[in-house]
Amino acid sequence: MMGEGKFDISPEWVDGETKALEAPGDHRAELRLWLRLLTCSTLVESEVRRRLREEFDSTLPRFDLMAQLERAPDGMVLGEVSKRMMVSPGNITVLVERLTESGHISRTTLPTDRRVQIVALTPFGRAEFEKMAARHADWISDLFAGLSAKEGGVLMDELAKLKRSVIASLAGNT
Amino acid sequence: MMGEGKFDISPEWVDGETKALEAPGDHRAELRLWLRLLTCSTLVESEVRRRLREEFDSTLPRFDLMAQLERAPDGMVLGEVSKRMMVSPGNITVLVERLTESGHISRTTLPTDRRVQIVALTPFGRAEFEKMAARHADWISDLFAGLSAKEGGVLMDELAKLKRSVIASLAGNT
DNA sequence: CAAAACAATTTTAAGCTTGAAATTTCTTCC
DNA sequence: GGAAGAAATTTCAAGCTTAAAATTGTTTTG
């Protein structure tokens, strides 16, 4: 079953045929675009998860949480972490518990408001994160190596447009 | 999240003049690109999950599984479903159990090879899926509405290149 | 100054996901 | 024909994720 480290991925199914007369309410092009975006994202994400596990016995959520804290030397309030990571507050609770147990982060209750928890990387956590971040950057670089600088730039710009489109749509525009 | 920077790093094989300006191992541009891709993907995916839950009391994995089966009128072997959805075989087992319970799909053991399970949409499942698929297409269309046809085409092409790059990279190591 | 409102976080219940080990069922090859 | 191996699926243990309810602590207000 483990041919080369994973269950097999057969990537050749994204292309339906598009020779369609564009009827009203025909959303085929958008759907195909979304599927392709999702495929790219999933492929990269799965690989990153796999390597974090294999090389560091860690997970992507833990890495992401530490990445947020790396830029906040004085620590960050849990709610802020939750917003930045775009995950639910309850999720943060669990992640913080585990990362605290393993010594990667510290947590403090704010004296002036005892509802507030502040988390920060420990020196150990920071050192570990830096190792992971360096490897992570290499992995991404390898996975994206087939894109030229120019192609990458175009993709970056188009994704910016897409992001604006999505956010506008979520905000209620149509 | 990230600034609106440009793609400013050359891949290994395009050394030349820009290389001198960069620190060795500078993968910033690829990382930004990956972050942006992930952000777009996450935004869309979260919204789709939310609406599937609210409008249909369903989930994205269930929808995806039914979407695979819709194109296979004669059903599909579990392993094939697993590959196409790019998820682990054990995952499929759970999803199939629930969708069978709820009457959306049927499962049959292949008489000529009793290891093989074949799943297919039931008429009820197909009808339900069609309702969901129509709404799903509308949601995606709305979310992507800020992209012109041309921009969408460019994005599609660039994502195709990225997909090739990722797959080539995955094939080249373990 | 209490009571209500609000805010930050945790708990809960349910479902998703994975990799690895186990199980069942063929297939191959002496 | 029977053992060894391969293939398809399931089981298992652990972790992630969410929405909603509950908890704890602070602020506002009557």
Shared domain check, B74 and B132: yes
B10 pLDDT higher than 60: no
Residue A16 confidence (pLDDT): 41
Cα separation of A144 and A160, whole Å? 18
Q: Report the interhelical angle of A28-56 vs B28-56 (nearest 10°).
A: 120
B59 pLDDT higher than 50: yes
Residue B142 domain flag? no
Judge whether residue B83 contacts strand C, using its CB and a 7 Å cut-off. Answer: no
The residues in B 67-126 lying below 8 A from A, measured between CB atoms, are 82-84, 86-89
Residue B165 domain flag? no
Nucleotides, chain C, CB distance < 7 Å = 7-13, 15-22, 24-27
Residue A13 confidence (pLDDT): 38
Q: Indicate which of A35, A49, A64, A147 best probes the interface with B, i.e. most B CBs within 10 Å of its own CB.
A: A147
Mean local confidence (pLDDT), A53-65: 94
Judge whether residue A1 contacts strand D, using its CB and a 7 Å cut-off. Answer: yes
How many domains does the structure of chain A reveal? 1
Residue B21 confidence (pLDDT): 52
Range of the structural domain that residue B66 is part of: 58-137
Are B43 and A167 an interchain contact pair (Cβ–Cβ within 8 Å)?
yes
H or E element in which residue B57 lies: none
CATH number for the domain including B89? Answer: 1.10.10.10
Q: Are A20 and A26 in contact (CB under 8 A)?
A: yes
Mean local confidence (pLDDT), B83-111: 94
Residue A38 domain flag? no
Cα separation of A53 and A43, whole Å? 16
Shared domain check, B129 and B105: yes
Mean local confidence (pLDDT), A107-132: 95
The residues in B 20-49 lying below 8 A from A, measured between CB atoms, are 25, 27, 29-34, 36-47
A160 pLDDT higher than 80: yes
Contacts of A45 in chain B (CB under 8 A): 38
Mean local confidence (pLDDT), A69-98: 95
Average pLDDT of chain B to the nearest whole number: 86
The 3-state secondary structure of A133-146 reads HHHHHHHHHHHCCC
Q: Are B142 and A116 in contact (CB under 8 A)?
A: no
Residue B152 domain flag? no
Residue B7 confidence (pLDDT): 27
Look up residue B139 and give its amino acid. W
Of B87, B143, B162, the CB nearest to A147: B162
Cα separation of A75 and A117, whole Å? 10
Residue, of A12 and A115, whose pLDDT is higher: A115
B15 pLDDT higher than 60: no
Judge whether residue A90 contacts strand C, using its CB and a 7 Å cut-off. Answer: yes
Contacts of A134 in chain B (CB under 8 A): 25
pLDDT above 90 coverage of chain B, percent: 81
User: What's the Cα-to-Cα distance from A79 to each of A64, A68, A73, A90, A91, rounded to whole Å?
Assistant: 15, 12, 17, 10, 11
Contacts of A138 in chain B (CB under 8 A): 25, 27
Shared domain check, B128 and B65: yes
Mean local confidence (pLDDT), A126-139: 95
Residue B108 domain flag? yes
| Interface check B143 vs A, CB under 8 A | yes
Q: Are A147 and A155 in contact (CB under 8 A)?
A: yes
Residue B84 domain flag? yes
A3 pLDDT higher than 60: no
